[in-house]
Structures are given as C-alpha cells and as structure tokens.
Amino acid sequence: MLIPILIVLIASMLSVIMAYLTVIEKDLLLATIYIAFIGILYTLIYYILLAADVVLAYIPVSSILLPIIVIIVLKKSKRLEE
C-alpha cells in the first residue's frame, strides 16, 4: 500500500508549490488558473483517501463556482495587480 501514500505526498507537495505561486502572482487570471490546478490536486487527494462523496461535492465547486466567481470579480476590477 505504498503507492496511494506516495500519490498523496506528491499531490500535496505540488499543491503547496501552486499555492505559493498563486500568492505571488501579479496577473490575476493566471492566479485563477493556478487555483483550478490546486482544486484538481485536492480532488485527487480526496479520492485517494476514499472520500468519494466529498469529491462529488468538490468537483463543481473547484471547477465551476470558484473560477466563475473570481472571473466575474476580475471583470469588474483590473486584471493586473500593481
């Protein structure tokens, strides 16, 4: 049972890297894409930990609701951060 633990470890490390890049990014549309990437990695971690019901609730939130809300806010403000 080493393989699932290894998958969770790699996905967690990649999500930490993407979270740091999301914080320091100046272009907010790229930050939205990074957030979607983090959501995919979290989906994988939930699935490896056998929480399929949490995955069912998290896929629409991470791939639809969060990007569309952030892009709506982005349209009403500026794309580049000073």
Exposure of 82 in the CB half-sphere (CA atoms within 13 A)? 1
Lookup result for tokens 């979607």? 36
The DSSP output letter for 26 is S
Q: Which positions from 2 through 31 interact with other proteins, judged by CB under 8 A?
A: 3-4, 6-7, 10-11, 14, 17-18, 21, 29-30
Q: Are 80 and 27 in contact (CB under 8 A)?
A: yes
Of 19, 22, 31, 40, the residue at the interface with other proteins (CB under 8 A) is 40
Smallest separation, CB 82 to other proteins (Å):
20
Distance CA 33, CA 69 (A): 13
- Using CB under 8 A as the binding criterion, the count of chain residues that bind other proteins stands at 36
Interacting residues toward other proteins by CB under 8 A:
3-4, 6-7, 10-11, 14, 17-18, 21, 29-30, 32-34, 36-37, 40, 43-44, 47-48, 50, 52, 55-56, 59-60, 63-64, 67-68, 71-72, 74-75
